[in-house]
Structure 1
Amino acid sequence: MKKINMNMLILITEWRISKRVEEQFKAFIDGFNELIPQELVNVFDERELELLIGGLAEIDCEDWKKHTDYRGYQENDQVIQWFWKCINEWDSEQKARLLQFTTGTSRIPVNGFKDLQGSDGPRRFTIEKAGEANQLPKSHTCFNRVDLPPYTDYESLKQKLTLAVEETVGFGQE
């Protein structure tokens, strides 16, 4: 691609992504900061801020389980039983963080998990067998998928899943 075309492409992209909504975005930020001072917001990361603004939804684990697909696992496999046991033991905030870790949002659709969306339209929550038992689970938020290694005991699954959900931020996810 010629240098002039590349420069034009960069300018067009910059305009479409930021410049054309710059005035509206500034008005939004000014209004937001009028309600909540910036120094109070700065102490939160984007996940905490979403939970504070949106609140915690009551997550129905049975609905979640009902609308889950498995790859490499079956619903009755021991690791899957441990996964759901762990989730059922968690409080609402931990469940919301798992949902955020795997889907990119801590909120469920109005009609429940059957209406879960991915980056390309409707996409069910998926647990895929991937990785080694000494690794942490990995998420793919565009696909509502968690790669869950084949852990050999419940405590390992619980410890590694909790660590992944609580400590992973930003680009640690795919």
Structure 2
Amino acid sequence: MALFHGKFIYSGFTMPFYKKMLSKKIALKDIEQVDTEFYNSLMWIKDNNIDECQMELYFVADYELLGELKTHELKPGGTDIAVTEANKLEYISLLVEWRFNRGVEQQTKAFFTGFNSVFPLEWLQYFDERELELLLCGMQDVDVDDWQRNTVYRHYAPQSKQVVWFWEWVRKLDQEKRARLLQFVTGTCRVPVGGFSELMGSTGPQLFCIERVGKENWLPRSHTCFNRLDLPPYKSYDQLSDKLNMAIEMTEGFGNE
């Protein structure tokens, strides 16, 4: 109803939920915002050779329901299909989809049915998930001074040239681009009522962090569950500007792993 009448909602949803509204596939990176520990375990499987580790994994997901251990087949016959180095990406993809939908399938379906009755979901297909959040939640004025005051650094210092360039670049952005940057590094375009000092991560209060990671030819990456931007040591302002502009314009972002 808010969208139909041109009103905004404050709290909004997670970015993966907006992707579901657009019938887009949930990616591994998306689950980081929902369950960091689960995401890290899947990243370990992705980054290591399953055959060499001799792990006995099958296409099933174990979970606890009312104190009882349950098993869910990720695909027909999953209890008899071993996870190998050759099929582990399919296993990860199915596990991500299951984790996001677990226990909320009926509620999600009911929400989409109700939403579609007042505003056809097909009308939203012209947007990506970040644009959809801006459409539903509106665009705040981002206070760059407050943002900069409430930022911490790893392997950089406030006076590092890359940090100085970063804030110079942020100040040159219009409000829409700043909102897109905020989405890229925190997972949402909304700033807490109390400002950037009250940013929350997956485990509680978490200030925005800029960390020096990678080489100058690398692209920036984000970790939305930690409100962290991995910023390579670029050699010039123009190089930094080009890389960051590319990052915030991409729907999936370069935070994908």
TM-score by length of 1: 0.87
Does residue 74 of the first structure (1) align with residue 157 of the second (2)? yes
Structure 1 residue 133: Cα displacement: 1.0
Q: Corresponding residue for 1:10?
A: 72
SS in 1 for 2:116: helix
How far the C-alpha of 1:5 sits from its partner, in A, is 9.4
Whole-Å Cα distance in 2 between the matches of residues 128 and 20 of structure 1?
A: 36
Q: 1:96 aligns with which of 179, 183, 188?
A: 179
Change (3 A) 1:99 1:19: closer
Match of 2:33 in 1: none
Q: Which amino acid aligns with 1:9?
A: T
Residue in structure 2 matching 1:33, options 116, 119, 122 = 116
Which residue of structure 2 aligns with residue 157 of structure 1?
240
Counterpart amino acid of 1:92? Q
Q: Does 1:110 align with 2:172?
A: no
1:138 and 2:221 are equivalent in the alignment: yes
Quote the Cα distance in structure 1 between the aligned partners of 2:215 and 2:198. Answer: 31
Q: Which amino acid aligns with 1:49?
A: L
What number of residue pairs does the alignment pair up? 173
> CA RMSD, aligned part only?
2.8
Change (3 A) 1:6 1:153: closer
Q: Equivalent pairs: percent with the same residue?
A: 49
For 2:62 and 2:117, the matched residues in 1 are separated by: 40
Higher helix content, 1 or 2: 1
Tell me how far apart the structure 1 counterparts of residues 124 and 165 of structure 2 sit (CA, whole Å): 37
Q: Out of 129, 145, 149, which is 1:62 matched to?
A: 145
Out of 38-47 and 150-159, give the one that drifted further.
38-47
CA distance in 1, matches of 2:225, 2:138: 23
Q: Report the CA distance shift for 1:119/1:167 in structure 2 as closer, same or farther (over 3 A).
A: same
3-state DSSP class of the match of 1:69? strand
How far off is 1:141 after superposition? 0.9
In the alignment, the residues of structure 1 paired with residue 208 and residue 254 of structure 2 have an alpha-carbon distance, to the nearest angstrom, of 20
- Identify if the C-alpha distance between structure 1 residues 132 and 18 changes in structure 2 by more than 3 Å, giving closer, same or farther: closer
Q: Is the 8 A contact 1:72 1:129 kept in 2?
A: yes
How high is the TM-score relative to the length of structure 2?
0.60
> Cα 1:168–1:146, aligned 2, differ >3 Å: closer, same or farther?
farther
Q: Which consecutive residues of structure 1, in runs of 5 or more, have no partner in the other structure?
A: none
In structure 2, do the counterparts of structure 1 residues 75 and 17 end up closer, same or farther at CA, with 3 Å as the change threshold? Answer: closer
Deviation, structure 1 residue 39: 1.6
Distance 1:16 1:133, change over 3 A: closer
